[in-house]
């Protein structure tokens, strides 16, 4: 089993966190649930935390975990805090493989996404 | 001429703001520069501000302005602060048409973008 952890910043506003949970739900429905476990986690302000999300993936049977930082810019959360949390979990679980993807703001697809908002009829 | 204003939160870290400027540059190269003026602006922490960005679009000849909120969740910035700023500019410029798009986190394309990060080979 492969785990995927979508990591968001987290907000005091529950509606913002629910948006991330809804996105996770939508994404989960488009993945093969027999081989992929998708969870979301929050850096701060909301639960599950990132360590809790990693634990949940592993307890559900994941042997490798892909980390997707749902962040627009490479601030210290992306450049330092998230890698540190992953590093600590790698020490705790030496047999699990962790893959940390770049934050979504640096994704090549971001330009396409913005273009689709400029020209919605071209989707 | 049509103006497009990409609005980001803005950061104390200049690198984060430069990421937005770089994305704006990449996006501009994929648009028709004879008919579209694309600018970016920041809600706080960085310049140009949103009012300054709107002024720049209008001074460059835009008669309508499409606002793209580069935000992942619908917090108070998206639900209140940005609409208020646009409303004030609409009063200042009654002959300009403003179109406010939903924040990118609510875009249908966000799921596709995340899927492309999970399965990069499928792009």
Mean pLDDT for chain A?
A: 94
pLDDT tens digit string along B75-100?
A: 889 989 999 999 999 999 999 999 99
Per the CB < 8 Å rule, is B74 touching A31? no
Q: Give the model's pLDDT for residue A121.
A: 62
Q: Is the pLDDT of residue B73 over 80?
A: yes
Residues of chain B in contact with residue A111, where contact means CB-CB under 8 angstroms, are: 23, 26-27, 30
Q: Give the model's pLDDT for residue A122.
A: 56
How far apart CA A23 and CA A30 sit, in angstroms, is: 11
Please tell me if residue A49 touches chain B, with a CB cutoff of 8 Å: no
**Counts for chain B of helices (H) and strands (E), in that order:** 5, 4
Of A23, A73, A106, the CB nearest to B111: A23
Give the CA distances from residue A71 to residues A10, A14, A68, A102, B28, in Å, rounded to whole numbers and listed in that order: 11, 18, 9, 9, 22
Q: Is the pLDDT of residue A123 over 70?
A: no
Please tell me if residue A20 touches chain B, with a CB cutoff of 8 Å: yes
Of B73, B75, B117, the CB nearest to A107: B117
Read off the pLDDT of each residue in A46-68 and give the average, rounded to a whole number: 97
pLDDT tens digit string along B10-41?
A: 998 899 999 999 999 999 999 999 999 999 99
Residue from B64, B70, B73 to probe the interface with A (highest A Cβ count within 10 Å) = B73
How far apart CA B94 and CA B108 sit, in angstroms, is: 32
Assign B121 a pLDDT band (cuts: 50, 70, 90).
low
Residue from B117, B120, B121, B123 to probe the interface with A (highest A Cβ count within 10 Å) = B117
Q: Give the model's pLDDT for residue B117.
A: 92
Q: Give the model's pLDDT for residue A59.
A: 97
pTM of this prediction?
0.91
Mean pLDDT for chain B?
A: 94
Read off the pLDDT of each residue in A40-47 and give the average, rounded to a whole number: 96
Please tell me if residue B99 touches chain A, with a CB cutoff of 8 Å: no
Q: Give the model's pLDDT for residue B89.
A: 97
Of B16, B68, B101, the CB nearest to A73: B16
Nearest CA in chain A to B119: A31
Q: Give the lowest-confidence range in A70-74, A92-96, B68-72.
A: A70-74
Q: Is the pLDDT of residue B119 over 90?
A: no
Q: Give the model's pLDDT for residue B122.
A: 56
CA atoms within 13 A on the CB side of B7: 28
């Amino acid at each position: 089993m492969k785990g995927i952890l979508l990591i968001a910043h987290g907000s005091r506003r529950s509606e913002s966190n629910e948006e991330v949970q809804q996105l996770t739900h939508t994404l989960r429905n488009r993945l093969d649930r027999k081989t992929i476990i998708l969870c979301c986690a929050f850096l701060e302000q909301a639960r599950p935390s990132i360590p809790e999300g990693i634990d949940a993936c592993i307890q559900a049977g994941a042997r490798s975990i892909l980390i997707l930082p749902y962040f627009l810019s490479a601030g210290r959360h992306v450049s330092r805090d998230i890698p540190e949390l992953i590093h600590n979990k790698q020490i705790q679980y030496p047999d699990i493989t962790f893959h940390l993807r770049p934050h979504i703001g640096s994704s090549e697809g971001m330009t396409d996404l913005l273009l689709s908002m400029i020209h919605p009829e071209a989707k």
